[in-house]
């Protein structure tokens, strides 16, 4: 057969010789180059390991390997230098894998033509994703640690300020600021744990779906890629059909977004005039185009708002996979679009959160002014009665009545009541003594908590110490 123009896709063998590259819309539609270009260092790393394995099992010669390594290293520096302007990016070649392979063949001829021995883009792209995840997870953890580091620093400076806690956004019990800051740290630490073990099995050598009749040594390739991978996947069909690594990471990112969003919401509330618990730095507020006095917490609002994109990515991935027959289907190409978008967004949010924590001030005076509102010490009074032998349910009723009595008299504080008032409300009239006043008032209450993990002074101090022991120091960020 004689073709006038060479097929733009050397792996397509069509009657016309042109195939899907002949329609520009089809060429663009099938291409993932826009978003998978960023995989080039991982693609090259995987290809070098694959080539070394091929040489090890005598499927290519040492000279072939030398040529392949030289060519791939050159391509890597060219792309690093030229970025999007690298002439090897050709939309008609569909993706990062084929652009790099075509450039390699141009540089090395037959040596480059041997690189794809025993592999398919299906196992290649699965490996690239896993190698990318190693870097991405590392970056993600570092960013979370930076944020945790700033939360710890803030808890060291403002941690002993007494503040109200809230359930149902109604005043609950007194706590110290540090305990709440460390609550966020615990949640963000779990976001780190969620990434443990994601995508640690090497799919390369699974080929298109069924493996290969050639004498590939998959453990050799895996060894060359350790620690990005820590084992060889066990089933070639599953290895090329699944995107669980992308989904696991998207879930970890979604949970991080969820926690960032809750934290952002909390601090938006705390920064209102009505609360005034914190002051955000001018750097992280913006003005209104109409109302000259405004300082809006836009950065926090955007952290909250960007959660939609991240959840959307997880939902897109789940939906993308749900109808697929086992084996590779082109739908899977869309995975990277979503996981990259979610990752980029969460990284931005984490960096922004770190800066906000670093520059925010807790307003001790303002918090103190309102501390007597809401009978924060009511539970403490019930626990005092328990220490005097009153069953908790009875104590709860007694204190409920006392709070009502205060409201009737226009008192804001339980400590304004006399011993006679207290005893009159109790079934056994003699239990309340002078020491009751040591259990009242938010400042006293935060000193009394003793249960493990409490949100008062002792719990905060123990948790801070544990954090410092765990991290070595508190200042993780710049």
Give me the residue label for tokens 């508190």.
474
Q: How far is the CB of 209 from ligand ARG (least distance, A)?
A: 9
Q: How far is the CB of 281 from ligand ARG (least distance, A)?
A: 42
101 lies in the binding site for ligand ARG (CB under 6 A): no
Active-site residue flag, 288: yes
Distance CA 96, CA 76 (A): 12
Distance CA 440, CA 173 (A): 11
Of 81-89, 99-107, 241-249, 330-338: span binding ligand ARG (CB under 6 A): 330-338
Residue of 47, 122, 257, 266 that binds ligand ARG (CB under 6 A)? 122
| Paired strand residues for 232 | 202
362, containing H or E segment: strand 361-362
242 lies in the binding site for ligand ARG (CB under 6 A): no
Q: What is the DSSP string of 160-199?
A: T-EEEEEETTEEEEEEEHHHHHHHHHHHHHHHHHTTTTTT
8 Å CB contact between 453 and 175: no
Residues in contact with ligand ARG, counted by CB under 6 A, come to a total of 9
Residue of 50, 119, 121, 143 that binds ligand ARG (CB under 6 A)? 121
The residue (of 121 and 338) whose beta carbon lies closer to ligand ARG is 121
95 lies in the binding site for ligand ARG (CB under 6 A): yes
Q: How far is the CB of 336 from ligand ARG (least distance, A)?
A: 6
8 Å CB contact between 181 and 159: yes
The residue (of 242 and 333) whose beta carbon lies closer to ligand ARG is 333
Q: How far is the CB of 137 from ligand ARG (least distance, A)?
A: 20
133 lies in the binding site for ligand ARG (CB under 6 A): no
Q: What is the DSSP string of 91-129?
A: GGG-SHHHHHHHHHHHHHTHHHHTTTTT--HHHHHHHHH
Residue of 44, 53, 247, 332 that binds ligand ARG (CB under 6 A)? 332
Q: How far is the CB of 340 from ligand ARG (least distance, A)?
A: 12
List the structure tokens of 204. Answer: 């390369």
Maximum alpha-carbon separation in the chain: 109
Annotated catalytic residue within 16, 215, 219, 288: 288
Q: How far is the CB of 33 from ligand ARG (least distance, A)?
A: 9
Distance CA 337, CA 316 (A): 10
The residue (of 12 and 248) whose beta carbon lies closer to ligand ARG is 12
Active-site residue flag, 257: no
The residue (of 126 and 367) whose beta carbon lies closer to ligand ARG is 126
Distance CA 247, CA 273 (A): 41
8 Å CB contact between 98 and 89: no
8 Å CB contact between 90 and 99: yes
List the structure tokens of 76. Answer: 């890597």
333 lies in the binding site for ligand ARG (CB under 6 A): yes
Annotated catalytic residue within 13, 77, 168, 289: 168
125 lies in the binding site for ligand ARG (CB under 6 A): yes
406 lies in the binding site for ligand ARG (CB under 6 A): no
Residue 302, exposed/middle/buried by CB under 10 A (0-12, 13-18, 19+)? middle
32 lies in the binding site for ligand ARG (CB under 6 A): yes
Residue ranges that bind ligand ARG, judged by CB under 6 A: 32, 95, 121-122, 125, 328, 330, 332-333
Instruction: Give the residue numbers marked as catalytic.
Output: 168, 288
């Amino acid at each position: 057969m004689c073709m006038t123009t060479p097929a733009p896709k050397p792996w397509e063998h069509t009657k016309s010789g042109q195939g899907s590259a002949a329609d520009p819309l089809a060429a663009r539609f099938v291409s993932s180059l826009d978003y998978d270009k960023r995989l080039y260092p991982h693609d090259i790393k995987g290809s070098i390991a694959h080539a070394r394995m091929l040489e090890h099992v005598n499927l290519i010669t040492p000279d072939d390997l030398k040529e392949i390594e030289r060519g791939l290293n050159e391509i890597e520096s060219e792309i690093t230098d030229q970025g999007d302007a690298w002439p090897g990016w050709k939309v008609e070649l569909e993706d990062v894998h084929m652009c790099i392979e075509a450039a390699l063949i141009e540089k090395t001829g037959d040596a480059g033509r041997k690189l794809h021995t025993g592999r398919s883009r299906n196992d290649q792209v699965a490996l690239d994703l896993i190698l990318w995840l190693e870097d991405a997870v590392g970056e993600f953890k570092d960013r979370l640690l930076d944020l945790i580091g700033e939360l710890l620093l803030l808890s060291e400076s403002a941690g002993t300020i007494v503040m109200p806690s809230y359930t149902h956004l109604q005043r609950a019990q007194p706590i110290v600021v540090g305990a709440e800051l460390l609550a966020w740290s615990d949640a963000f630490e779990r976001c780190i744990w969620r990434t443990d073990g994601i995508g640690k099995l090497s799919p390369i050598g699974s080929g298109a779906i069924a493996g290969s009749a050639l004498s590939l040594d998959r453990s050799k390739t895996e060894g060359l890629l350790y620690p990005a991978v820590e084992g060889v996947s066990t089933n070639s069909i599953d290895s090329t059909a699944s995107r669980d690594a992308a989904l696991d990471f998207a879930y970890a990112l979604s949970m991080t977004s969820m926690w960032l969003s809750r934290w952002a919401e909390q601090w938006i509330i705390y920064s209102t005039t009505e609360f005034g618990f914190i002051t955000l730095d001018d750097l992280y507020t913006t003005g209104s185009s109409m109302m000259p006095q405004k300082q809006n917490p836009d950065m926090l609002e955007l952290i909250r708002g960007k959660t939609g994109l991240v959840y959307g990515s997880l939902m897109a991935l789940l939906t993308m996979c749900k109808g697929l027959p086992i084996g590779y289907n082109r739908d899977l190409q869309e995975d990277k679009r979503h996981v990259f978008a979610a990752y980029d967004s969460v990284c931005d949010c984490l960096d922004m959160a770190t800066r906000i924590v670093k520059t925010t001030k807790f307003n001790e005076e303002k918090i103190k002014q309102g501390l007597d509102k809401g009978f924060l010490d009511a539970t403490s009074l019930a626990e005092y009665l328990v220490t005097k032998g009153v069953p908790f349910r009875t104590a709860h009723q007694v204190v409920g009545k006392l709070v009502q009595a205060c409201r009737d008299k226009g008192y804001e504080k339980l400590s304004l009541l006399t011993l006679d008032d207290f005893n009159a409300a109790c079934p056994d009239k003699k239990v309340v003594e002078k020491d009751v006043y040591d259990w009242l008032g938010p400042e006293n209450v935060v000193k009394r908590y003793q249960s493990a993990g409490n949100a008062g002074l002792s719990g905060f101090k123990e948790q801070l110490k544990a954090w410092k022991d765990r991290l070595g120091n508190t200042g993780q960020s710049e």
